[in-house]
Amino acid sequence: MKSETRSSEDRSLLERIRHGDTEAAGELFEQYSPALLRFSDRLLSDRGAAEEVTQEVFVKVITRAHQYDGRADVSSWLFAIAANACRDRRRRDRRAMVVPLEAVAEPAQKGEGVESRLLARERRGAVREALESLSEEQREALVLARYHGLPYSEIASVLGISVGAVKTRIFRAVETLKARFTEGEASWNAAN
């Protein structure tokens, strides 16, 4: 019921955006920009580029709200725009820039020591590097499933592929990551 309410509210916001309501655009931005930024950052490995892509998504939403056909949830439509923008960005900028995790301040957890924070930072770095080693198609599907919790049918809609292709891409991505992490001492967990 919650997702149906959210979907209905999103469609209402989009209809208001079609009629030039900038407040509705702001509400949609507040609702989805954090998830789209995380998604874009995972695909691009460049926080600055991810921020630009996220902004581009909402510019496109404002200028192309009339193109939304209602077949998919608004959230799926937004992720599809972001995925396409990331692909375009990677095509234009074939070098993958990695933002050092040291540049991002990590909030200290209560009772967490320096050693455990360093280990967690190393794990995140290893996972980010491993994600970079996947094909663009595998990375997109895996990030949408594992980090954003989208069901396979919604991922298929976002990426414009079949559910079977989604399953295949995720399976191959997981197998690649397992192989990569079982070579060394590290253990793999997609949530890191």
Q: Please tell me the predicted confidence (pLDDT) of residue 157.
A: 87
Q: How far apart are CA 1 and CA 182, in angstroms?
A: 41
Grouped pLDDT means (10 residues each) for the chain, 192 residues: 77 92 92 94 89 93 89 90 90 58 50 73 78 86 87 89 92 86 57 48
Instruction: Compute the distance between CA of residue 155 and CA of residue 99 in angstroms, rounded to an integer.
Output: 26
H/E run at residue 32: helix 22-44
93: amino acid identity, one letter: D
- Looking up tokens 């709200």 gives 65
Q: Model pTM?
A: 0.64
Q: Using alpha carbons, list the distances in angstroms from residue 190 to 9, 143, 159, 164, 185.
A: 31, 9, 20, 21, 16
Cα 116 from Cα 85, distance rounded (Å) = 36
pLDDT for 183 equals 65
Question: Residue 100: helix, strand or coil by DSSP?
Answer: coil
What pLDDT does 32 receive?
94
Could you give the CA distance from residue 22 to residue 45 in angstroms, rounded to a whole number? Answer: 30
Q: What is the pLDDT of residue 116?
A: 77
Q: Which domains does the chain have, with CATH numbers?
A: 8-99 (1.10.1740.10), 132-192 (1.10.10.10)
